[in-house]
Amino acid sequence: MRKKKNKVSAVYLLPNLVTLGAMFCGFYSIVSAINALYIQSAIFILFAMLLDGLDGRVARLTNTQTSFGEHFDSLSDLLCFGIAPALLIYLSSLSMMTFGYLAKLSYIACFVYIASAAIRLARFNSRNQTTDKKYFVGLASPAAAAIIICYVWLLSDVNADMSSYSTLTFLLIISLSLLMVSNIAYLSFKDVNIKQKVPHLMLFGISLIVSFISFDPPKVLFIFFLLYGLSGPTMFLTRRLRRNGLYESSSTSNAED
């Protein structure tokens, strides 16, 4: 009898190569933060975000989606959007909180952020496949990381004294951690079909957006990502107010009857 040859496990190169590139950007962002190159560190996390958005689309377009790719992408996300931004915010700002318990609170806040990012990613991977893909449950870790790095980039760009903003930084990172593990819905924009034809006016609009970002990247990007971060709680409160209004109106009409 012929011996059966053991199959060598293999993976698709193209999408995993993109994920590996994102992972390198996250690693190099950490190296830059350690060397006090905070703007460079923030920019490399932005590069990681671009690559993270590409790997899934490349896998779908080339029909090379695998469970290995999903788990590999999650590990890359934890490095790029959990560990790297937490280390950046700690070295650039929170490490300056050196008075008593404040020093401990600074690194505890960073650990809470990393843990929240890990929980967010694990929950996303274990989600029910029938859930509405138009929405994320909780703030996505790349969006949370984008707010942090643009915040650091903005303060570094204007040569602000980072120690003066330590309290604001602490509140920001705790708020983002809570939003990541919350049940607040955020638009995912995954229903956008890049194969679909678009009007010429849309290309003109995109060119305007790119031009506007190039005018002052740190300010524009920070405002953009901050508005996205606030969009979830805003939609949540709006829905609550509408439900309460409908409930009150229905109760009033029933009482009149």
Question: Is residue 230 pLDDT above 90, yes or no?
Answer: yes
Predicted local distance difference test score (pLDDT) of residue 198: 65
- Residue 141 neighbours by CB under 8 Å, 6+ apart: 77, 78, 81, 82, 117, 120, 121, 180
CATH code at 199? Answer: 1.20.120.1760
Predicted local distance difference test score (pLDDT) of residue 107: 86
Distance, CA of 119 to CA of 116 (rounded, Å):
5
Residue 242 falls within a domain, yes or no?
Answer: yes
**Which of 142, 33, 42 has its CA nearest to residue 95?**
33
Distance, CA of 149 to CA of 229 (rounded, Å):
14
Predicted local distance difference test score (pLDDT) of residue 42: 94
The answer to whether 152 and 168 are in contact (CB under 8 A) is no
Predicted local distance difference test score (pLDDT) of residue 191: 61
Percent of the chain topping pLDDT 70: 83
Domain housing 248: 13-256
Report the SS3 class of residue 62: coil
The count of C-alpha atoms lying within 13 angstroms of the C-alpha of 21, restricted to the half-sphere facing its C-beta, is: 15
Question: Is residue 94 pLDDT above 70, yes or no?
Answer: yes
Q: What is the mean pLDDT of residues 68-91?
A: 91
Rg (CA), the chain: 22
Predicted local distance difference test score (pLDDT) of residue 253: 56
Residue 4 falls within a domain, yes or no?
Answer: no
Confidence band for 1, pLDDT divided at 50, 70 and 90: very low
Predicted local distance difference test score (pLDDT) of residue 61: 76
The answer to whether 94 and 106 are in contact (CB under 8 A) is yes
Residue 184 falls within a domain, yes or no?
Answer: yes
**Which of 108, 117, 139 has its CA nearest to residue 231?**
139
The answer to whether 124 and 77 are in contact (CB under 8 A) is no
Q: Which tens digits make up the pLDDT trace of 145-179?
A: 999 999 999 998 888 888 888 889 999 999 999 99
Based on the structure, what is the number of domains in the chain?
1
Percent of the chain topping pLDDT 90: 41
Distance, CA of 121 to CA of 185 (rounded, Å):
15
